[in-house]
Amino acid sequence: MINISEAAAIAMHSMIYMANRKDEVHSLKEIAGYFGISANHLSKVLQQLVKSKYLISVKGPKGGFCLATGKEKATLMEICEVIDGKYTPKNCLFESNHIKSCCCIMKPMISKINETFVDFMTGHTINEMKL
């Protein structure tokens, strides 16, 4: 099943925000204000994206963040995995030592949801998405 952290959702939205406004440096305050989120939480997320070379941190009074060269073609899955690690779908909602994923009664539905999710996340780049 789909399990995306709030941090990964913030990362994807922030990257799309910057991809929609490519030629600008965006302050932490600006992005946090746009989404109505904590600047502290956003800062931690953006620093992970800088460390992973998806964003560039610009120092100084007019500093902030901007997309690294070529990263406008990053997929949603790439951004999600920077924050949450490699995506591993769950095959059953019922966690039990007695129920194996092969035998889950919900497996057909969950498999279809997982497939749709992976197709969407790997098939869309941040520059294609609009806020």
Residue 96: its pLDDT value, please? 60
pLDDT tens digit string along 34-52?
A: 999 999 999 999 999 999 9
Alpha-helix runs per DSSP H in 52-106: 76-84
pLDDT by residue, tens only, the chain of 131 residues: 678 999 999 999 999 999 999 889 999 999 999 999 999 999 999 999 999 999 999 998 889 999 999 999 999 999 999 999 999 887 777 666 655 556 678 788 888 999 999 999 999 999 999 98
In 3D, which of 90, 91, 93, 94 has the Cα closest to residue 102? Answer: 91
Q: What does the alpha-carbon distance between residue 28 and residue 47 come to, in Å, rounded to a whole number?
A: 11
Residue 98: its pLDDT value, please? 59
- For domain 6-123, give the fold: Arc Repressor Mutant, subunit A (1.10.10)
Say if CB 3 and CB 90 are below 8 A apart.
Answer: yes
Residue ranges of domains in the chain? 6-123
Residue 3: its pLDDT value, please? 83
